[in-house]
């Protein structure tokens, strides 16, 4: 491990500081889950090709709920067959060592952190495991066992019925934040995530490009507070820039699987 990184982590460990980990698509990519941006996420409705930023919207769901559901069920099927990797496992070990001093904020909806065994997790973009009423009645329910294996397969009557809210007869929706919606506390734990950034002694950012606003705000809070700030990513990204500009920051090149086990050990795991 680089000497500067080692000394930053040792400082956090000896101060018994809180650790906030922020993860993005990079850690899931190492489990074989595509980003679903670009070509991976294209979906044909009628004669048109839609990109994810058009499919993952409330507007599209209101216009074509069945198409949006088929797209999600196809994606969720990919997630379900993926397995957590050594990066996820390192964060479970770190949580076991730190207990309540550990918080994980993830942008990933694939549930891999939960399946690996992480418990103190805020899923700020939702979680594929759950659905809720699109009309707003009731709380979260488990995703019914509906699978779409091919992009061409229409929903059966039984599948449509499984995706119907028993309370009001309207559609259930995936418990995910859409591009034309806003972060909130009730569904996406926005305030909790920001509070964690306000009390952390280390922000560890893993595999995210910072394309969305709440993760960038978390990075900005950490930078302004002058806490330790470590970015793990094989590629250049805005968090790496923040880390390099920070007095106790380090941009660690490499993937989650390559770097997280040694980082977790240095923090006491
Ligand atoms: Zn309902």
Is the pLDDT assigned to residue 138 strictly greater than 90? no
Is the pLDDT assigned to residue 8 strictly greater than 80? yes
| pLDDT score for 181 | 96
pTM, two decimals, is: 0.94
Is the pLDDT assigned to residue 75 strictly greater than 90? no
| pLDDT score for 150 | 75
Is the pLDDT assigned to residue 88 strictly greater than 90? yes
15: number of CA atoms within 13 Å, CB side? 14
The 3-state DSSP class for residue 231 equals strand
Using left for φ > 0, alpha for ψ between -120 and 50, and beta otherwise, residue 189 falls in left
The pLDDT tens digits of the residues spanning 154-194 come to 888 999 999 999 999 999 999 999 999 999 999 999 999 99
Q: Comparing 90-94, 158-162, 208-212, 234-238, which segment has the lowest mean pLDDT?
A: 208-212
Is the pLDDT assigned to residue 38 strictly greater than 70? no
The pLDDT tens digits of the residues spanning 46-62 come to 777 888 888 899 999 99
Is the pLDDT assigned to residue 44 strictly greater than 80? no
Q: Which of 88, 113, 125, 175 is catalytic?
A: 125
Residue 65 to residue 71: CA distance in whole angstroms: 10
CA angle 93/98/101 to nearest 5° reads: 135
CA of 37 to the centre of ligand 1 (A): 30
CA of 249 to the centre of ligand 1 (A): 47
| pLDDT score for 39 | 65
| pLDDT score for 16 | 95
CA of 163 to the centre of ligand 1 (A): 11
**Inter-residue contact 231 to 246 (CB < 8 Å):** no
CA of 135 to the centre of ligand 1 (A): 5
List, in order, residues 6 or more apart from 66 with CB less than 8 Å away.
154, 155, 160
What strands, in cross-sheet order, belong to the sheet with 172-176?
141-142, 126-133, 172-176
**Inter-residue contact 124 to 193 (CB < 8 Å):** yes
Give yes or no: 125 in active site. Answer: yes
CA of 139 to the centre of ligand 1 (A): 9
Residue from 25, 42, 24 nearest 34 by CA? 25
CA of 159 to the centre of ligand 1 (A): 17
Is the pLDDT assigned to residue 37 strictly greater than 70? no
Looking at residue 38, the DSSP 8-state letter turns out to be G
Residues in the chain: 269
Instruction: Rank 48-57, 62-71, 83-92 by mean pLDDT and report only the highest.
Output: 83-92
pLDDT band at 84 (very low <50, low <70, confident <90, very high): very high
| pLDDT score for 41 | 67
């Amino acid at each position: 491990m680089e000497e500067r990184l080692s000394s930053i982590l040792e400082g956090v460990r000896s101060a018994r500081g809180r650790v906030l980990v922020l993860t993005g698509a990079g850690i899931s990519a190492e489990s074989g889950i595509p980003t679903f941006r670009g070509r991976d996420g294209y979906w044909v409705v009628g004669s048109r090709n839609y990109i994810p930023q058009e499919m993952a919207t409330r507007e599209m769901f209101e216009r074509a709920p069945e198409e949006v559901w088929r797209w999600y069920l196809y994606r969720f099927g990919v997630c379900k067959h993926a397995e957590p990797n050594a990066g996820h496992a390192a964060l479970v070990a770190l949580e076991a060592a730190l207990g309540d001093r550990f918080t994980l904020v993830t942008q990933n909806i694939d549930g891999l952190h939960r399946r690996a065994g992480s418990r103190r997790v805020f899923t700020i973009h939702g979680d594929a495991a759950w659905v809720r009423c699109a009309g707003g009645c009731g709380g979260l329910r488990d995703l019914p066992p509906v699978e779409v294996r091919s992009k061409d397969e229409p929903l059966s009557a039984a599948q449509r019925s499984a995706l119907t809210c028993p309370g009001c007869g309207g559609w259930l929706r995936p418990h995910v934040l859409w591009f034309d919606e806003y972060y909130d506390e009730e569904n996406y734990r926005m305030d909790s995530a920001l509070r964690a950034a306000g009390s952390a002694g280390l922000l560890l950012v893993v595999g995210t490009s910072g394309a969305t606003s709440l993760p960038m705000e978390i990075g900005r809070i950490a930078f302004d507070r002058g806490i330790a700030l470590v970015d793990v990513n094989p590629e250049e990204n805005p968090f790496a820039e923040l880390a390099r500009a920070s007095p106790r920051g380090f941009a660690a090149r490499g993937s989650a699987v390559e770097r997280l086990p040694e980082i977790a050990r240095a923090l006491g795991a």
